[in-house]
Amino acid sequence: MFGDLFEEDYSSVSNNQYGKGKKLKTKTLEPPAPREFTNLSGIRNQGGTCYLNSLLQTLHFTPEFREALFSLGPEELGSFEDKDKPDAKVRIIPLQLQRLFAQLLLLDQEAASTADLTDSFGWSSNEEMRQHDVQELNRILFSALETSLVGTSGHDLINRLYHGTIINQIVCKECKNISEKQEDFLDLTVAVKNVSGLEDALWNMYVEEEVFDYDNLYHCGTCDRLVKAAKSAKLRKLPPFLTISLLRFNFDFVKCERYKETSCYTFPLRINLKPFCEQSELDDLEYIYDLFSVIIHKGGCYGGHYHVYIKDVDHLGNWQFQEEKSKPDVNLKDLQDEGEIDDPLMILKAILLQENNLITVDQLGQKLLKKTGVSWNKKYRKQHGPLRKFLQLHSQIFLLSSDESTVSLLKNCSLQAESGFLKNDQQIFKTLTSESLGLNDNTSCPHWFDINDSKVQPIKEKDIEQQFQGKESAYMLFYRKSRLQRPPEAQANPRYGVPCHLLNEMDAANIELKTKRAECDSANNNFELHLHLGPQYRFFNGALHPVASQTESVWELTFDKRKTLGDLRQSIFQLLEFWEGDMVLSIAKLVPAGLHIYQTLEGDELTLCEIEIADEEDIFVWNGVEVGGVQIQTGIDCEPVLLNVLHLDTSSEGEKCQQVIESPHVFPSNAEVGTVLTALTIPAGVVFINSAECAGEESWTAIPREDMKKTFREQGLRNGSSVLIQDSNNDDNSLLTKQGKWTSINEINWLQVKNLCQLESEEKQVKVSATGNTVVFDIRITAIKELKLMKELAENSCLRPIDRNGKLLCPVPDCYTLKEAELKMGSSLGLCLGKAPTSSQLFLFFAMGNDVQPGTEMEIIVEETVSVRECLKIMLEKSGLPGGTWHLRKMDWCYEAGEPLYEEDATLKELMISSGDTLLLMEGKLPPLGFLKVPIWWYQPQGPSGHWESHQDQTNCIPSQGSVWRAASTQGAPGNVPAEGSVLYVGDIEISEDAVLADLKSQAMTLPPFLESGVPSPAFLRAWTVESKRPGRLLRSNRQPLKEYKLGRRTEICLEPLQKEENLGPQDVLLRTQMRIPGERAYAPAVDLVWDAARGCTAGSLRQRVAHFYSLPVEKIEIAKYFPEKFEWLPISSWNQQITKRKKKKKQDNLQTAPYYLKDGDTIGVKNLLVDDDDDFSTIRDDTGKEKQQQLALGKKKSREALHVQSSDVFSSAETPGRPRGQEASLSIHVGSFR
Catalytic residues: 50, 305
DSSP 461: G
Closest Cα to residue 826, out of 882, 752, 765?
Answer: 752
Give Cα 242 distance to the centre of its chain. Answer: 27
CA angle 637, 638, 641 (to 5 degrees): 110
Q: How far apart are CA 144 and CA 1228, in angstroms?
A: 9
Task: Let me know how long the chain is.
Answer: 1235
535 upstream amide cis, omega within 30 of 0: no
> Which amino acid would we find at residue 1043?
K
CB 570 within 8 A of CB 586: no
Pairing mode, strands 841-848 and 918-923: parallel
Closest Cα to residue 3, out of 163, 133, 146?
Answer: 133
Closest Cα to residue 1026, out of 1017, 1035, 1014, 1037?
Answer: 1035
CB 770 within 8 A of CB 818: yes
3-state secondary structure of 567: helix
- Is the Cα torsion angle 117, 121, 124, 125 positive or negative in sign? negative
Pairing mode, strands 765-769 and 797-802: unpaired
3-state DSSP helix/strand/coil % of the chain, to nearest 5: 25, 30, 45
Those residues whose C-beta lies under 8 Å from the C-beta of residue 590, and which sit 6 or more positions away, are: 14, 16, 18, 19, 618
Q: How far apart are CA 810 and CA 823, in angstroms?
A: 12
3-state secondary structure of 757: coil
3-state secondary structure of 1030: strand
- For residue 243, give the H/E element and its range: strand 241-247
CB 1031 within 8 A of CB 981: no
Closest Cα to residue 800, out of 772, 785, 821?
Answer: 821
To the nearest 10 degrees (0 to 180), the angle between helices 92-106 and 63-70 is 120
- The distance in angstroms from the start CA to the end CA of the chain is 31
DSSP 204: H
Q: How far apart are CA 450 and CA 1154, in angstroms?
A: 35
Give Cα 842 distance to the centre of its chain. Answer: 36
CB 290 within 8 A of CB 306: no
Closest Cα to residue 370, out of 389, 355, 386, 385?
Answer: 355
Closest Cα to residue 100, out of 147, 29, 36, 44?
Answer: 44
Q: What count of other Cβ atoms lies within 10 Å of the Cβ of residue 1006? A: 10
Q: Is 1044 exposed, middle or buried (0-12, 13-18, 19+ CB in 10 A)?
A: middle
CB 309 within 8 A of CB 320: no
Closest Cα to residue 245, out of 354, 139, 119?
Answer: 139
Strand partners, 450: 309, 457
CB 723 within 8 A of CB 676: yes
CB 452 within 8 A of CB 42: yes
